[in-house]
Amino acid sequence: MNRGTRLAGWVIPVALAILWEVATHYGLAQGRLMPPPSRLAATAWSLARSGELQTHIVATMTRVLAGFAIGAAAGTLLGMLNGANPWAERLLDPSIQALRAIPSIAWVPLFILWLGIFETSKLALIALGVFFPVYLGVLTAIQSVDRKLIEVGRVFGLSRAGIALLITWPAVMPAWIASLRTGLGLGFMFVVAAELMGASEGLGYLLVDGQQMGRADSILVAMIIFALLGKASDSVLVALSRPVLCWQDTNRLRL
């Protein structure tokens, strides 16, 4: 992918920002509830100069990454167990699928009651949000492995461990990476709910503080930073996954 292709994704947001700046500058639109980019940049600079913005970013990213690590590890291991063992799936999967249907916000009062309002409850909520897509992705991918590939491995005398390492896991890897990307995105969504639980710092706290103070600029700055951090984190995950997916000969690689 050349540099021009990578920069193409910035065309629409930059064009919309310029149009809104021009519209508010010439009085074609009001900038009170939807401040123009120049005011958002001034607010972001003010928060950064005071150190407040960096504090919020570090707090949020620490929670997201820690919760993501816990949820992704648990989802991967349980997905592998239930995907490889039909008895484990019959025993555990119905309960997991039922829990998956519970809205995220419904867990907040329960986690506060169980774990308090400090970091443990926040990490638990984020990990829960990451767990379900990773678990479902791994489980579905293992169950979707072509049976003929397994039979070929047995013909060549591979043990169960050899089949798992040389056939099943490479076949599962693309779906696993996709489920990790989905889980990471949900981690950023769940951190907002987590930071409603008595947080005094974090981008979620900045959102709530902006709402209470009637500051649309603070709310939008927090939302934009959420978007940038989420995109950057996803790009890092994609870059880290390239070496383990280099064996793929897909149509996208030819574009």
User: What residue ranges define each of the domains in the chain, with the CATH number in brackets?
Assistant: 46-254 (1.10.3720.10)
Average pLDDT of the segment spanning 185-195: 89
- The pLDDT, as a whole number, for residue 137 is 94
What is the per-residue burial (b if ≥16 Cβ within 10 Å, else e) of 55-88?
bbbebbbebbebbbebbbebbbebbbbbbeeeee
121-125, 206-210, 236-240: range with lowest mean pLDDT:
206-210
- The pLDDT, as a whole number, for residue 48 is 92
pLDDT at 252 over 80: no
17-21, 22-26, 40-44, 85-89: range with lowest mean pLDDT:
22-26
pTM: 0.86
- The pLDDT, as a whole number, for residue 84 is 84
Please indicate whether residue 31 or residue 225 has the higher confidence score (pLDDT).
Answer: 225
- The pLDDT, as a whole number, for residue 255 is 45
Average pLDDT of the residues of the chain: 86
* Percent of the chain predicted with pLDDT > 90: 41
**How many Cβ atoms are within 10 Å of 21's Cβ, its own excluded?**
16
Q: Report residue 194's pLDDT band, with 50, 70 and 90 as the boundaries.
A: confident
- The pLDDT, as a whole number, for residue 97 is 93
Average pLDDT of the segment spanning 174-186: 93
SS3 of 27, please?
Answer: coil
pLDDT at 92 over 90: yes
For the segment 201-217, what is each residue's pLDDT rounded down to a tens digit? Answer: 889 888 888 888 888 88
pLDDT at 184 over 70: yes
| C-alpha pair distances (Å), 221 with each of 9, 23, 182, 186, 217 | 20, 19, 24, 20, 6
Average pLDDT of the segment spanning 150-155: 81
